[in-house]
């Protein structure tokens, strides 16, 4: 996989700008990074705090080999981020289903995969990865849950290259689902009592039992029936 890396300084959002590039013919494996984002996007309409030169803000465009669902791409990217951090720092991270990478219980990375569909077919996917590398202060609303790798700002590029290395290795063999074993082994959600929070609905309590082969969260409800959660938000109780 040969990446074409475009480096920007401050932009709105690497996902949003890469989407424009994708609609204007950007090739498979185009990667866009920014030193900072003024409108970093998170899941469920949230923002992603993206101060200048303290984090890695990167999006990867995929136009080929993506007849898989976006959630699978998110879990694949999480595995690559975790492996890259381990290689470079020796630190073990965990993943909170589906897209948050944690270090010592704090979120240091978020992943937002967005798909563009044409006639129900996934035309392209953009995987956005944000890692707090040297950020040391966070806004009030996330200051208790967000953390940082505590590395120097120059680490961003090294991390980018290591994540892309793992991505090129893992993406080729994504269909065999082997990466999901690593994901499951390091997923803090499994075995925990959770609340499933879906927009506009009452939270539902359940026990997280595992992650299935489509990256869905297998849960057991209070009445012992089983189900699979594939979107929405899960809070660990
Ligand atoms: C989340 O935590 O809900 C996902 C956060 C994803 C943030 C990254 S930063 C690079 C890319 N561009 C964006 O606007 N968002 C993603």
Q: What is the mean pLDDT of each run of 10 residues along the chain (237 residues)?
A: 97 98 97 98 92 97 86 94 98 96 98 90 94 95 96 96 98 94 97 88 93 95 93 66
Plot region of 209 (φ>0 → left; ψ -120 to 50 → alpha; else → beta): alpha
pTM value is: 0.95
Pocket of ligand 1 (CB under 6 A): 13-15, 37, 40-43, 46, 48, 57-59, 99, 110-112, 128-130
pLDDT of residue 162: 98
Give the position, in ligand 1's atom list, of the atom nearest the Cα of 58.
10
pLDDT of residue 96: 95
pLDDT of residue 119: 83
- Closest C-alpha residue for ligand 1 atom 9: 130
7, 48, 51, 58: which to mutate for ligand 1, most atoms within 8 A of CB? 48
Q: How far separated are the first and last CA of the chain, in Å rounded?
A: 40
129, 131, 197, 235: which to mutate for ligand 1, most atoms within 8 A of CB? 129
Give the position, in ligand 1's atom list, of the atom nearest the Cα of 16.
14
A 10 A CB-CB count for 152 gives 10
pLDDT of residue 233: 67
Question: How far apart are alpha carbons 211 and 195 in whole angstroms?
Answer: 16
pLDDT of residue 117: 87
CA of 80 to the centre of ligand 1 (A): 16
Question: In this structure, are residues 197 and 234 in contact, taking their beta carbons and an 8 Å threshold?
Answer: yes
pLDDT of residue 178: 95
pLDDT of residue 89: 97
pLDDT of residue 71: 81
pLDDT of residue 114: 92
């Amino acid at each position: 996989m040969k990446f074409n890396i475009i480096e920007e300084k401050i932009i709105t959002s690497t996902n949003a700008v890469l989407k424009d590039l994708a609609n204007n013919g950007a090739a498979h494996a185009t990667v866009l990074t920014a030193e900072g984002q003024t409108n970093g996007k998170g899941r469920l309409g949230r923002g992603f705090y993206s101060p200048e030169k303290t984090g890695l803000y990167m999006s990867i465009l995929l136009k080929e080999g993506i007849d898989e669902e976006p959630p699978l791409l998110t879990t694949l990217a999480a595995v690559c981020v975790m492996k890259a951090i381990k290689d470079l720092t020796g630190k073990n991270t965990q993943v909170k289903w589906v897209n948050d990478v944690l270090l010592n219980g704090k979120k240091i990375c978020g992943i937002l995969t967005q798909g563009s569909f044409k006639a129900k077919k996934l035309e392209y996917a953009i995987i956005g990865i944000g890692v707090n590398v040297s950020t040391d202060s966070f806004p009030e609303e996330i200051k208790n849950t967000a953390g940082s790798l505590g590395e120097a700002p120059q680490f961003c590029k090294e991390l980018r290259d290591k994540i892309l290395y793992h991505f090129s290795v893992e993406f080729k063999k994504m269909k065999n689902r082997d990466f999901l074993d690593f994901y499951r082994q390091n997923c803090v959600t499994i075995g925990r009592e959770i609340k499933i929070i879906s927009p506009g609905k009452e939270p539902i309590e359940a026990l997280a039992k595992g992650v299935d082969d489509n990256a869905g969260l297998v849960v057991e409800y209070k009445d012992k029936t089983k189900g699979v959660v594939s979107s929405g938000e899960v809070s660990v109780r």
